Amino acid sequence: MAHTNDLAHGHDDHAHHGPDKGIMRWIKTTNHKDLGTLYLFFAFTMFFIGGLMSLVIRAELFHPGMQFVQPEFFNQMTTMHALVMIFGGVMPAFVGLANWMVPMMIGCSDLALPRVNNWGFWILPFGFTMMLSTLFMEGGGPAGGWTMYPPLMLQTGNAFPFLIFSVHLLGISSITGAINVVVTILNMRTPGMTLLKMPLFVWTWLITAYLLIAVMPVLAGAVTMLLTDKYFGTSFFTAAGGGDPVLFQHVFWFFGHPEVYILILPAFGIVSTIIPTFARKSLFGYDSMVYATAAIGFLSFIVWAHHMFTVGMPLAGELFFMFATMLIAVPTGVKVFNWVATMWRGSMSFETPMLFAVGFVFLFTIGGFSGLMLAMTPVDFQYHDTYFVVAHFHYVLVPGAVFSIIAAVYYWIPKWTGRMYNEFWGKTHFWLSAIFINLTFFPQHFLGLAGMQRRVPDYALQFTDFNEISTIGAFGFFVTQFIFIFNILGCCYGWFGRKRDLPDRVWEGARGLEWTVPSPAPYHTFEDPPALPVSEVTGVHDAEAAH
C-alpha cells in the first residue's frame, strides 16, 4: 500500500481499493478504522480477562475465611485486575474510539502518523502477554498492588522485571498514540473547523493526549528506578541507602492522579456527544465544557497527595491538597450541570446509548460525591485503604468510564458496521447492568465506613451480608455483558438476519461530519477535506444557539 503521509495526496490509487485480505490485513494495517477495530477488540478481550480476575476476588470474598484461593494468589488477582482493566481495558478502548472517530469528526483521511499507529497497537499484545505470563511463573505474578509501592513491591520474585518491562511497553504504546492524536487534531482539521468548533470528543481527547504525554514518562521513570533499586544496588527508594519509599508514592501519584483523568476525560467527551443527539438540542454551554475540561486537566497535576494524606505530611501540605482536590469538583460540577441543562426541555428519547449516557451522569456523580468525602483530610484518615475507596473509584470507573465506552459502541456501531443493534436487548443490557453494578458497589460504601480494609482476602463476620450482595452483583454484571457481546458481534458479522440498510445519519438528532458519510463508513473517508456546513458543527456557542 503506497500510503503517503500527506494530507493533500488527492486521488491516488488507494482511493478505490479496500483492505487487504486475510490476517496480514490486520498485522500490516495503517488504516485508522482497522486499528480502531483492533484496539476495541483487544480492549474487550482484556475486559473479559480482568473480569474473570474480579470474579476470583468476589468469589473469595463471598464469605469470611479462606474459600477458594491462597492469600498470596488473592493479592495477585487484585494487582493484575487493576493493571489489566486500566492499561488493557479502558485506555485501549478510548484509543480505539479516538482512532475510529477523531479523523471522521475533524474531516481528515487518517491519523497523522499511520505507521506509528500500527506499532502503537501491536506493542500491546506483547506487553500484556509478558505481564500475564507472570501468573504462571514460580512465585506467581506481582501481588503488591497496582500502585507498586516499595518496599513491598521490591519483594516480588521473578515476575518483577517482566512487570516493569510490560509497563514500559504499555507506556510507549500510550505515548505514541497520544502524540499521534495531538498532531492529527492540531494539523489536520478540515478548513473552517476552528478549535472552538471541534466536537467535544475531540477536545477531551486532545487534553487527554497532553496528560498522557506529560505523565506516562514519569511512571516509566518511577518503575525504572524501582528496577535499578532491586537489581543494581541504587537507593532511590530504599531507606537503608538513604532513599525514601514515600518519594515513590509522590512520583507514582504525580502520574496516578492525571491518569484517573485520562480514564475519564474521553468519557466526558462521549457523553457530551450522545446527550445532545437524543435530547435533540445542541450541547448547553459548549465553551464552558471546553474550559472545564482544560481546568480539570490543569488541576489534576496539583492534587496528587490526596492519595497519601496518611503518610505524614506537614499540616500546610494536607490543607493545600485538600483544597486543591475540592477545587476539581467545581469544573466537574459545571459539566454535570451542562449535561442536565442539555436535557432540560429537550425532546428526549431513550435509545440504548442515551440510557447509558444518562446512567453515566447519575452514577458518575455518586462517585464524585464519595470523592469529595475522601478529599476531606480528617475523614480520609478513617476511609483510606478501606472499601469506601474501592466503592469510590469503581463508581467513577465502571458506571463512569466503562458505561461511556459501552454507550459509544452502541452509538457508533451502526456507523461502523452499517447494521443496527437490537434495541430490546440493548435496553435489557442497560437495565441489568445498572442494577447489578449498584448491587456490586453500593454496599462497599457501607463496608468501608464500617472498617473493612481493601486488598485483604478475609474479613470480620459482621461484614458478611454486604459482601454476599456485592458478590452476587459482580457475577450478575459479568453474565449480563454477554448480551452486549452478542448484540455487537451480531452487527459486526450480520448475525440474526441483520441487514445493512441504514441511512448516513443513523440518529436523526445527530450532528457532525461522521454522519455525512455512508453507513457503514467506507474504508477511506475524507480523502479530500470536506466542507463544513453550519448544520454539522457540534460546537455551538451560546450566542449562536440563542437564535
Partner 1 sequence: MSADLRRRHWLRLLFVTLGMFGFGFATVPLYNKLCYAIGLNGKVANEAAAIKTASVDASRTVTVEFLTTVNGGRPWKFRADQATVQVHPGQMTTVSFYMKNTQDHAIVAQAVPNVAPSDAAQYLKKTECFCFNRQPFAAGEERHMPVVFMLDPELPKDIDRITLAYTFFDVTDVAQKN
**20 counts as catalytic:** no
Q: Is 395 in the site for ligand HEM (CB under 6 A)?
A: no
Q: Is 379 in the site for ligand HEM (CB under 6 A)?
A: no
Task: Using the minimum distance from each CB to ligand HEM, give the nearer residue, 209 or 506.
Answer: 209
DSSP notation for 217-265: HHHHHHHHHHHHHHHS---SS-GGGT--HHHHHHHHHHHHHHHHHHTTH
C-alpha distances in Å from residue 442, one per residue of 3, 77, 264, 363, 436 = 51, 22, 20, 10, 10
Residue 505, sorted as left (phi over 0), alpha (psi -120 to 50) or beta, turns out to be beta
* Of 30, 79, 109, 174, catalytic: 174
Residue 297 in contact with residue 352, Cβ under 8 Å? no
C-alpha distances in Å from residue 380, one per residue of 301, 308, 367, 387, 522 = 20, 9, 15, 12, 52
The entry of partner 1, ligand HEM, Cu ion, none that residue 264 binds, CB within 5 to 8 Å by partner kind: ligand HEM
Please choose, out of 43-51, 278-286, 386-394, 410-418, the segment that lies near ligand HEM by the rule CB under 6 A: 386-394
* Residue that is written with C-alpha cell 493484575 in the block: 80
C-alpha distances in Å from residue 99, one per residue of 15, 113, 205, 516 = 19, 11, 11, 18
Angle, helix 464-493 to helix 423-449, in steps of 10 degrees: 150
C-alpha distances in Å from residue 90, one per residue of 87, 293, 372, 416, 431 = 7, 19, 23, 20, 21
Task: Using the minimum distance from each CB to ligand HEM, give the nearer residue, 336 or 488.
Answer: 336
Chosen residue from 81, 281, 384, 429 binding ligand HEM by CB under 6 A: 384
Pick out residues in 146-175 that bind ligand HEM (CB under 6 A). 147
The cell for 107 is 474531516
The cell for 277 is 443527539
Q: Is 262 in the site for ligand HEM (CB under 6 A)?
A: no
Task: Using the minimum distance from each CB to Cu ion, give the nearer residue, 257 or 394.
Answer: 257
The entry of ligand HEM, partner 1, Cu ion, none that residue 263 binds, CB within 5 to 8 Å by partner kind: ligand HEM
The entry of Cu ion, partner 1, ligand HEM, none that residue 359 binds, CB within 5 to 8 Å by partner kind: none
Work out how close the CB of 113 gets to partner 1 at its nearest, in angstroms, rounded to a whole number: 6
Q: What whole-number distance in Å separates Cα of residue 139 and Cα of residue 129?
A: 17
DSSP notation for 450-483: TTPBSS-S---GGGHHHHHHHHHHHHHHHHHHHH
Q: What whole-number distance in Å separates Cα of residue 20 and Cα of residue 508?
A: 34
C-alpha distances in Å from residue 136, one per residue of 4, 88, 130, 139, 511 = 44, 19, 11, 8, 49
Task: Using the minimum distance from each CB to ligand HEM, give the nearer residue, 254 or 526.
Answer: 254
Please choose, out of 16-24, 199-207, 258-266, 471-479, the segment that lies near ligand HEM by the rule CB under 6 A: 258-266
Task: Using the minimum distance from each CB to ligand HEM, give the nearer residue, 47 or 526.
Answer: 47
Q: What whole-number distance in Å separates Cα of residue 453 and Cα of residue 388?
A: 9
Q: Is 380 in the site for ligand HEM (CB under 6 A)?
A: yes
Backbone phi and psi for residue 518, each to the nearest 5 degrees, phi listed first: -60, 160
Question: Site size for ligand HEM, by CB under 6 A?
Answer: 25
Q: What whole-number distance in Å separates Cα of residue 125 and Cα of residue 123?
A: 6
Work out how close the CB of 313 gets to partner 1 at its nearest, in angstroms, rounded to a whole number: 7
What type of residue is 482? F
Binding mask of the shown chain, residues 400 to 439, with x at each position contacting ligand HEM by CB under 6 A = xx--------------------------------------
Which string of b and e fits 246-276 if b means at least 16 CB within 10 Å?
Answer: eebbbbbbbbbbbbbbbbbbbbbbbbbbbbb
Task: Using the minimum distance from each CB to Cu ion, give the nearer residue, 202 or 211.
Answer: 211
Q: What are the residues binding partner 1 (CB under 8 A)?
A: 5-7, 112-113, 175, 178-180, 182-183, 186-188, 213-222, 224-225, 233, 236, 238-244, 246-247, 250-251, 254, 311-314, 317
Please choose, out of 188-196, 240-248, 388-396, 465-473, the segment that lies near ligand HEM by the rule CB under 6 A: 388-396
Q: Is 292 in the site for ligand HEM (CB under 6 A)?
A: no
**146 counts as catalytic:** yes
**28 counts as catalytic:** no
3-state SS string for 71-109: HHHHHHHHHHHHHHHHHHHHHHHHHHHHHHHHHHHHCCC
The entry of Cu ion, partner 1, ligand HEM, none that residue 378 binds, CB within 5 to 8 Å by partner kind: none
Q: Is 264 in the site for ligand HEM (CB under 6 A)?
A: yes
Task: Using the minimum distance from each CB to partner 1, give the nearer residue, 181 or 343.
Answer: 181
The cell for 249 is 508514592
Please choose, out of 63-71, 239-247, 376-384, 442-450, the segment that lies near ligand HEM by the rule CB under 6 A: 376-384
Q: Is 372 in the site for ligand HEM (CB under 6 A)?
A: yes
Give the HSE-up count for residue 349: Cα atoms under 13 Å, Cβ half-sphere.
Answer: 9
Residue nearest ligand HEM, CB atom distance:
371
Work out how close the CB of 370 gets to Cu ion at its nearest, in angstroms, rounded to a whole number: 12
Binding mask of the shown chain, residues 92 to 131, with x at each position contacting ligand HEM by CB under 6 A = ----------------------------------------
Work out how close the CB of 213 gets to ligand HEM at its nearest, in angstroms, rounded to a whole number: 19
**523 counts as catalytic:** no
Please choose, out of 185-193, 387-395, 464-472, 474-482, the segment that lies near ligand HEM by the rule CB under 6 A: 387-395
Q: What are the residues binding Cu ion (CB under 5 A)?
A: 257
Task: Using the minimum distance from each CB to Cu ion, give the nearer residue, 258 or 512.
Answer: 258
Task: Using the minimum distance from each CB to partner 1, give the nearer residue, 242 or 497.
Answer: 242
Report the chain's terminal Cα–Cα distance, integer Å: 48
Number of H helices, E strands in the chain: 18, 0
**335 counts as catalytic:** yes
The residues that touch ligand HEM, with contacts defined as CB under 6 A, are: 147, 260, 263-264, 306-307, 325, 328-329, 332, 368, 371-372, 374-375, 380, 383-384, 389, 392-393, 396-397, 400-401
By annotation, the residues acting in catalysis are 81, 110, 146, 173-174, 257, 259, 261, 272, 306-307, 332, 335, 454
